Amino acid sequence: MTLTIDTSFFDDQLQSLTELRHHFHRHPELGFKEHATSARVCEELERLDIPYEQGLGGTGVVATIKGLAADNGRRIGLRADMDALPIQEASDHAHASEVPGIMHACGHDGHTTMLIGAARYLARHRDFSGIVYLVFQPAEEGLGGGREMVKDGLFERYPMDAIYGLHNWPALPRGQVAIRPGPIMAATDRLDICVRGKGGHGGVNPHLSIDPVRMAGALIQALHSVVSRDADPLSPAALSLCGIKGGELDGFAIIPDEVRLSGTVRTLDLATQDRIADAIARTCDGVAATYGGQIEVDHQRIFPATINHPEATQHVIDTAREVLGESALEQEVAPSLGGEDFAFMLEQCPGAYFFLGSADTPDTPPLHNARYDFNDAIIPTGSQLLVAIALEGLAKAS
């Protein structure tokens, strides 16, 4: 490595950082409501004498760590997300969520903790040139906190040569690093569909109604064939209808006026995203015309695909190889069809997003599961990687 990093520092900090992670886990907050989480992050930064700005993008925090060596003009950003999910925790560990119906089921408590671990190291070891920006982002879970930070002037206020983020990944063994250039996470679309007909009596005169339940049934079948016939089979995509509401189960003979559907589309490239959107609109129009009703589609493009920049990707690979060794690298990882609003940051600034394995056993609960818990054993690894990525990135101009 270009720089020498005191790796023992992170092991020495593990107990303290684990206690901090457990604090975040016990007190989860939903997107744009991370007031206590943000305040605790700021307390840590104040204790470390690191200047920061609070309130960017709502509840976001950006900290600035300047090296004491002559400034070389380089600026590197490190990002962590802070929000939790609306899930009732099913775990029985001592640090389980104390907030009914909300839990850290995606490990953002761990991401925030690892970035604070990096802050602790950088605050104590300032013998570097340039500036490291620590970006604590709100509302990643479907609400677009990353977009809001960008709209709030993140990169105008804090110009960066590159920005990096990681996500713990229970599908990989603990300590394994996986990254790829190009798309690594999918564009995330939301579908809200209203199928409108004409209600009536399901026994006496069903022929006088326009049955939205029948239309919805046909539409579900038709839309679930879109990916197989309207998308390039060499470009991964998914279309899933995940919710349906219409009529009353007690009103077993009452044909309702409307049925509502909700779902999602995931794609890795804009051409496929556009092609599937056209197919959805065409299919809805066709089913409505066939059955004599109306179908309205609200197709929202929530997140773009998370696309890693080649040079930044190689930087993560080189750094991980030096920090963890060749055996810890997984460069052939398949992209995930999960969504990630770090995409908005990568649209504005070069950078890369990577996975850090967190599984100790094959049956480790997955992300967004009520029994999921972040693996504290990867805190030193994640913090060390973030520090090394930042310092090596700053040193590139030296």
The CATH number of whichever domain residue 360 belongs to comes to: 3.40.630.10
- Looking at the structure, do residues 176 and 318 belong to the same domain, yes or no? yes
- Looking at the structure, do residues 341 and 221 belong to the same domain, yes or no? no
The per-residue pLDDT for 3 is: 67
Rounded mean pLDDT, 15-41: 98
Domain boundary (265, 282, 303) is at 303
Is the pLDDT score of 366 beyond 80?
yes
**Is 189 annotated as catalytic?**
no
The per-residue pLDDT for 397 is: 59
d(CA 9, CA 76): 22
Sheet containing 52-56, strands listed edge to edge, beginning at the edge strand earlier in sequence = 52-56, 60-66, 131-137, 75-81, 162-173, 351-359, 177-178, 329-330
* Separation in Å, CA 129 to CA 41, 122, 155, 290: 25, 12, 20, 67
What's the total number of domains in the chain? 2
- Looking at the structure, do residues 86 and 227 belong to the same domain, yes or no? no
Percentage of the chain beyond pLDDT 70 is 99
Give the pLDDT band (50/70/90) at residue 159: very high
Closest CA to 109 of 170, 32, 26, 9: 26
Is the pLDDT score of 288 beyond 80?
yes
Domain boundary (259, 280, 303) is at 303
Encode pLDDT of 29-55 as tens digits. 999 999 999 999 999 999 999 999 999
- Looking at the structure, do residues 172 and 200 belong to the same domain, yes or no? no
SS3 189: strand
Query: Hey, which residues does 182 pair with through a beta bridge?
Result: 308
- Looking at the structure, do residues 115 and 139 belong to the same domain, yes or no? yes
- Looking at the structure, do residues 333 and 375 belong to the same domain, yes or no? yes
Dump strand ranges (E) for the chain: 52-56, 60-66, 75-81, 131-137, 162-173, 177-178, 182-185, 187-196, 200-201, 237-246, 254-255, 258-267, 294-303, 306-308, 329-330, 351-359
- Looking at the structure, do residues 151 and 55 belong to the same domain, yes or no? yes
Structural domain containing residue 198: 187-303
Length of the chain measured in residues: 398
Is the pLDDT score of 1 beyond 70?
no
Encode pLDDT of 320-355 as tens digits. 999 999 999 997 899 999 999 999 999 999 999 999
Is the pLDDT score of 78 beyond 70?
yes
In terms of C-beta distances under 8 Å and separation of at least 24 residues, what long-range contacts does 362-366 make, across chains too?
364/170, 365/170, 366/170, 366/171
Chain mean pLDDT for the chain: 96
Encode pLDDT of 230-258 as tens digits. 999 999 999 999 999 999 999 999 999 99
Per the domain annotation, does 34 fall within a domain?
yes
**Is 140 annotated as catalytic?**
yes
The per-residue pLDDT for 396 is: 86
Per the domain annotation, does 50 fall within a domain?
yes
Assigned token pair, 72: 């070389």
- Looking at the structure, do residues 119 and 246 belong to the same domain, yes or no? no
Look at strands 187-196 and 258-267 and give their pairing. Answer: antiparallel
Give the pLDDT band (50/70/90) at residue 398: low
Is the pLDDT score of 107 beyond 60?
yes
Supply the pTM of this predicted model. 0.94
- Looking at the structure, do residues 180 and 216 belong to the same domain, yes or no? no
Q: Which of 34, 44, 83, 341 is catalytic?
A: 83
Per the domain annotation, does 1 fall within a domain?
no
Q: Which of 140, 148, 258, 341 is catalytic?
A: 140
- Looking at the structure, do residues 153 and 285 belong to the same domain, yes or no? no
The per-residue pLDDT for 331 is: 78
- Looking at the structure, do residues 251 and 198 belong to the same domain, yes or no? yes
Which amino acid, residue 296?
Answer: E
Is the pLDDT score of 163 beyond 80?
yes
- Looking at the structure, do residues 293 and 205 belong to the same domain, yes or no? yes
Domain boundary (265, 287, 303) is at 303
d(CA 326, CA 342): 27
Per the domain annotation, does 332 fall within a domain?
yes
Per the domain annotation, does 280 fall within a domain?
yes
CATH of the domain at 293: 3.30.70.360
The per-residue pLDDT for 332 is: 82
Per the domain annotation, does 2 fall within a domain?
no
